[in-house]
Amino acid sequence: MRASGRLIARASARVRHVAGQAMSASVATSDPSAGPLPPRRHPAGTPLARRRFSTGPGVPVLAVAAVMVLIVAMLGVEQVTGISLLPDRLTAGLRPPPKKFPVLPASRPVGLAIRSLDLRAPVHDVGVAPDGTIAVPDAARAQEAGWYDRGPTPGQYGPAVIVGHVDTTTGPAVFHELEELHSGDRVEVTRSDRTVAVFEVNAVERFDKGELPVDEVYGDFSRPNLRLITCGGQWVGGETGYSDNVVVFASLVKARRT
């Protein structure tokens, strides 16, 4: 059997803006470059005294201010206690940079090693397929993994995505045993700058290809992350191939020189 390679993806630029959507939906600001707003018009004969309430902040503004004060207060509690009280998407850009893990500069991945699976494989770049999904390695390179070159490199903030086939018509492929990973297993990615980014597996999940949680897979920019993706589930043939995607969620824990 062969892997379908139909991995559902959206442009990484979209997920970089997910964090701001919660606030932008409720707070409208004017664009400074657009110049001053036109003066308000009032019905003829309206006494100025009856417009006194327009000079102060309205209820929506006060409500937004109260919410922001509450967020800042809860962030202070988080710093003291170490307990996360707010959703990451709501506070993206407000929390101070994390200090408990390294953050690496951009550098393309060239190799992948997973000791628990006895897996060592080259990594090359892949882009976007004609149908808008993440491209996968050609069948002739089924024993190699492909790094999605429109996203972060492994070790940068955000989810670096590496894809690979589960099998081909001739036998197992590079990610054939990917679903056997467990929380705590290590994934090492060798980069072109001769550093090795070491990730720890947080979870291994399987999703129906039509229901892949895009924000969960591609939208976490709270720290350097890694996503390993292959096919799984039942073979259904056609354009779908396998029914599911297997996704490994991992976080950067350290880095070293080769």
Alpha carbon distance 90, 221 (integer Å):
12
Highest mean pLDDT among 56-60, 95-99, 166-170: 166-170
Weakest-pLDDT range from 44-48, 173-177, 183-187: 44-48
Tell me the mean pLDDT in the region 53-58. 49
In the prediction, which pLDDT does 24 show? 33
Alpha carbon distance 235, 102 (integer Å):
40
220 Cβ contact partners less than 8 Å away, ≥ 6 residues apart: 88, 158, 159
Nearest by Cα to 6 from 215, 235, 231: 231
In the prediction, which pLDDT does 40 show? 38
Weakest-pLDDT range from 18-32, 43-57, 95-109, 114-128: 18-32
pLDDT band at 63 (very low <50, low <70, confident <90, very high): low
Contact 229, 221 (CB under 8 A): no
Considering the chain, what is the average pLDDT of its residues? 76
Q: 215 pLDDT exceeds 70?
A: yes
Residue with tokens 């001053």: 36
pLDDT band at 18 (very low <50, low <70, confident <90, very high): very low
Q: How many CB atoms lie within 10 A of CB 182?
A: 9
In the prediction, which pLDDT does 240 show? 80
Tell me the mean pLDDT in the region 236-250. 91
pLDDT band at 213 (very low <50, low <70, confident <90, very high): very high
In the prediction, which pLDDT does 237 show? 84
- 3-state SS, residue 70: helix
In the prediction, which pLDDT does 5 show? 40
In the prediction, which pLDDT does 68 show? 63
Residue with tokens 């024993």: 143
pLDDT band at 16 (very low <50, low <70, confident <90, very high): very low
Backbone angles phi, psi at 16, to 5 degrees: -65, -20
| Boundaries of every domain in the chain | 100-257
* pLDDT one-digit tens code per residue, 132-180: 889 999 999 999 999 999 999 999 999 999 999 999 999 999 999 999 9
Alpha carbon distance 228, 247 (integer Å):
6
Alpha carbon distance 189, 252 (integer Å):
10
Contact 242, 232 (CB under 8 A): yes
Give me 6's structure tokens: 């139909």
Tell which CATH architecture fits domain 100-257: Beta Barrel (2.40)
Q: 210 pLDDT exceeds 80?
A: yes
- DSSP-assigned letters across all residues of 189-200: EEETTSEEEEEE
Nearest by Cα to 109 from 252, 221, 12: 252
Weakest-pLDDT range from 64-68, 155-159, 195-199, 232-236: 64-68
Q: How many CB atoms lie within 10 A of CB 181?
A: 21
Tell me the mean pLDDT in the region 38-60. 43
* pLDDT one-digit tens code per residue, 101-120: 899 999 999 999 999 999 99
Greater confidence (20 vs 86) lies with: 86
